[in-house]
Structure 1
Amino acid sequence: MKRTYRIMAMAASCLFVAGAHPVQAEQPNVVFIFADDMSYETIGAAGMLDIDTPNLDRLVENGASFTHAYNMGAWGGAVCAASRSMLNCGRFVWNAQAGVKTGVKEKSMWAQRMQAAGYQTYMTGKWHVPGAEAEDLFQTAKNVRGGMPSDFRSKGSADGTKPKGYGYGRPIDEEHYKKGWKPWDTTNGGFWEGGTHWSEVVANDSVEFLETAAKDDKPFFMYLAFNASHDPRQSPKEYIDRYPLDRIKLPENFLPQYPYADKVCGLGLRDEKLMPYPRTEYAVKVNRQEYFAIITHMDDQIGRIFEALEKTGKADNTYVVFTADHGLACGHHGFSGKQNMYDHSVRVPFLVVGPDVKPGVKIDAPIYLQDVMATSLEVAGAPLEGVDFKSLLPLLRGETTGHYPEIYGAYMNRQRMITKGDWKFISYPTANVERLFNLKKDPNELDDLAGNPEYAAKLKQMREALKKLSMELDDPLMKPSKGAAKMKKSK
């Protein structure tokens, strides 16, 4: 294992990228590893949480960490569907649904562009891009999964031993936990459906492909999409046992209930029903225990993929990116899910090992996670026409320190956000509420300055900046009649 990461570290200092530097004739391979529901804080090396992610930590040590990578938003409760649509068609959020339709028709989706550039394209795991089938886009797509694993939580079991709603609103207390849903119980289905945990299936498939790719001279593009760490957050019991509750800390911005939750996302939203209302310290700790455990289990599977990559002999010509489709609250601000505009839910880890990437570099410039598509296309020498997102190569090369001057966020017609410099402005149109935070002084987003007369000018400035950016991005709220219809349809 140590040998694997010594080689990975060497790769981080000697790989190349197409562009300003001398270019090697052989195209680099691209390995894209994608998690689900994983907040930026959940990498051990980031130093924010007591969580075990040794393999991802080595990516941090051997490459670049983008500390402020964002998802742009969603038109419905399944935030991952919007995130993955943007990722694969390359269009910003309000044009992504049409972008997928056009992309499939014009063969301009991410995998199709990579294939046209001469790559073998391979996909395994979660897809969830409405309007497109992975099997039609990748040359090989194996064990393609839906949006989330199904289990007994909502429908219950046929024999009545697991009633309807089993696994939701849990745990109420220790006695309820003892008698209720367990993440290691394979009879609950979910990640255990089929007999092998789905994270292990992704690793098995990846290792199998790499063994074949080692014998082929063509460059490869691998799209490896874990369903972890989405609920049902299931993993083998030994991973749960690694996180006794006295190891789990309550988030500093814990709330029993968010004051505007009913209007900005809805108390009945599926994600929010996972934990009981009001949130309790015990319930949050148990849910975070299971969250950390499935991430650590996934990290072990990622380690297997890294070992297989090293064995191909092609690690010194491979560009590796790890990120997630959005973050997750899991107890922050009284939320359980990701349908909010706070950093724990809109920011993700974004790690890069590869060409000309210096080890241990941290890049604070705000980016969108979907910039990985444009980056890989530039690496491959493929055209970027029709792609809204931007290549990260100038940042990775140190040629620039800026990328996007502002970051936009949206959730249906209920929430809007702009982050600009040290400031974040959140608007809740349906609740007639505004919030203003100074992220530098208040990274936990606890001190709302919107009602403070001292910041009236800043509030107005951020409100106007959001309006301008929203218009540039074709936000349907800027077109009330069409916007209302579109939002209603997406519910």
Structure 2
Amino acid sequence: MNKFLALICSSLMMIGIAAENEKPNFLFIFADDMSLDTIGAMGRYNCQTPNLDKLMASGASFNHTYNMGAWGGAVCAASRAMLNSGLFVNKAQKGINQVPHWSEIMKKNGYATYMTGKWHVPGTPRFDVVKDPRPGMPKGSGYNRPKDMDDYLNGWKPWDKTQGGFWQGGIHWSEVVANNGIEFIEQATKEDKPFFMYIAFNATHDPRQVAKEYIDMYPLDSIEVPKSFLSNYPYDEEMGCNPVGLRDERLMPSPRTEFAVKVHRQEYFAIATHMDEQIGRIFDALEKSGKADNTYIIFTADHGLSVGHHGLVGKQSMYNHSMKVPFFISGPSIKPEQQFDMPIYLQDAMATTLDLAKIAKPEYVQFNSVMPLIEGTKKVQYSPIYGKYTHTQRMIQDGDFKLIVYPGIKVSRLYNISKDDLEMNDLAKNPEYAAKIAELTTKLKKLMKDMDDDMDLDNPKKSQSSKKKKSKKKKTDH
């Protein structure tokens, strides 16, 4: 009898050890151009995202999640380089080609790795299985539209499949991504190996094409024009967002009109709702697979989008609508209905998966896991928050205040984001805030140094000249 009891105890112990050692699965879902404003549960606009709302409620939501910015107009390329390398923005441009990618770290630690959808990172995706990798954006956008109601009624249409774009190949790209994800999940039910899925939608990037039924969900008279609407941003050229020279800004006529903004927001919400429906299909497949209880889901986006805020259309700015994105995480150890307000960067996703998988974070990875924040062992992730766009913009967010600097024209803009979340009241010209601007400028210079930013804020032209000389010398050397 004693031997029998000992055998049972031994068996139970082995089962416990096996359960403890069982690695969780990871489903990472990445959207493109998706601002926090598009999440229905945030209550900002009437955009319907029921599946993402459920994901938000099922776990933890970080409501101040930022992208650091970019070295060029393709902000998504910089964001994805940071995400897959674990390096901050000023190191990621080169580092993405020099360090193991997120997928390679997971693979080395026993994970089956899978990727489908948008890549837009140098080289080919480094996953075990790659299906239908896509370029930065589909071709087929309508530009400088709509000029008026006649142009709207008779011009480019989101549901016109002859325009190519998301319709290229016959099935909407968001549906292809979902189909591929579901196929992999069904295959994973036959395998014992834990999986890491990287599901990257091109939506909600333009061309914002979708079936007419989704457009009809958002009648134009129901679309709200952002309160921060401007016909043109006063420093659009100086900040690198020339409405003639920058592709994103050419999507809408300039000066901006409320009518054009409504049309673009109609299409933006429609493609977001369609993508949300595809995400719901993936969630259903995961639930049916029996793998859901041991799978962590992380959803975020590479950056936000203006679509009419501040007279801008794209994402090449330091305003919240362009920098802030959703960041939701749910899974076995995540309690539901948690919301956190401390700032994080969206690229914390990589370090978070390593933490949950009990994989040691490589020394070169600069981003951090959000798990200590969720568990309450840490209260601050990053302070202050840094942002950049090419050589034309720098930003620091410290507590309640955000300072945006346009170095080339020596212009600063100051916002109290705790009182002015839409960043409509520029305090920079108010003499009462001169000391605050000086304080934040000093902090920004230090932060830039910490971030390996080689721009001289006081003499940006000298910085650019030095960079050109170095670039020329390198070309000569080769």
Aligned to 2:11: none
Aligned pair count reads 448
Q: Secondary structure at the match of 1:33?
A: strand
Aligned to 1:160: none
Aligned to 1:7: none
Aligned to 1:43: 39
1:355 Cα deviation from its structure 2 partner: 3.2
Amino acid at match of 1:297: H
Structure 2: which 5+ residue stretches go unaligned? 1-17, 472-478
Candidates 295, 299, 303, aligned match of 2:280: 303
1:400 Cα deviation from its structure 2 partner: 2.0
1:232 Cα deviation from its structure 2 partner: 0.3
Amino acid at match of 2:402: K
Residue 432 (str. 1) matches residue 421 (str. 2): no
Residue 469 (str. 1) matches residue 447 (str. 2): yes
Candidates 119, 124, 145, aligned match of 1:170: 145
> Structure 1's 308 and 468: CA in aligned 2 closer, same or farther, altered over 3 A?
same
| Structure ID, larger Rg | 2
8 Å CA contact retained: 1:417, 1:427: yes
CA distance in 2, matches of 1:374, 1:482: 33
Structure 1: which 5+ residue stretches go unaligned? 1-21, 154-166
1:482 Cα deviation from its structure 2 partner: 6.1
CA distance in 2, matches of 1:327, 1:86: 16
Residue 294 (str. 1) matches residue 271 (str. 2): yes
CA distance in 1, matches of 2:56, 2:222: 23
8 Å CA contact retained: 2:402, 2:416: yes
1:409-424 mapped onto 2 (5 Å cutoff):
409-424=387-402
Aligned to 1:383: 360
TM-score, length-scaled by structure 2: 0.91
CA distance in 2, matches of 1:216, 1:432: 59
TM-score, length-scaled by structure 1: 0.89
Candidates 416, 440, 453, aligned match of 2:431: 453
CA distance in 2, matches of 1:336, 1:367: 25
CA distance in 1, matches of 2:172, 2:349: 27
8 Å CA contact retained: 2:103, 2:127: yes
Amino acid at match of 2:149: E
Aligned to 1:215: 190
Partner deviation per Cα, 1:76-101 (whole Å, 9 max, x = no partner) = 00000000000000100010022111
How high is the sequence identity, in percent, across the aligned residues? 59
1:177-256 mapped onto 2 (5 Å cutoff):
177-256=152-231
1:133 Cα deviation from its structure 2 partner: 1.1
Amino acid at match of 2:161: T
CA distance in 1, matches of 2:285, 2:310: 40
Partner deviation per Cα, 1:400-446 (whole Å, 9 max, x = no partner) = 22111111000000000011111100000112210000001111101
Q: For CA contacts below 8 A with separation 6 or more, give which structure has more relative contact order.
A: 1
Note the aligned Cα RMSD (angstroms).
Answer: 1.6
1:259-298 mapped onto 2 (5 Å cutoff):
259-265=234-240, 266-267=242-243, 268-298=245-275
CA distance in 1, matches of 2:37, 2:319: 13
Q: Secondary structure at the match of 1:477?
A: coil
Amino acid at match of 2:68: M
CA distance in 2, matches of 1:255, 1:297: 29
Aligned to 1:111: 103
1:25 Cα deviation from its structure 2 partner: 1.5
> Structure 1's 364 and 292: CA in aligned 2 closer, same or farther, altered over 3 A?
same
Aligned to 1:29: 25
Q: Secondary structure at the match of 2:237?
A: helix
CA distance in 1, matches of 2:308, 2:121: 28
1:1-40 mapped onto 2 (5 Å cutoff):
24-40=20-36
8 Å CA contact retained: 1:91, 1:387: yes
Aligned to 2:118: 126
1:275 Cα deviation from its structure 2 partner: 0.4
Amino acid at match of 1:309: L
CA distance in 2, matches of 1:485, 1:301: 48
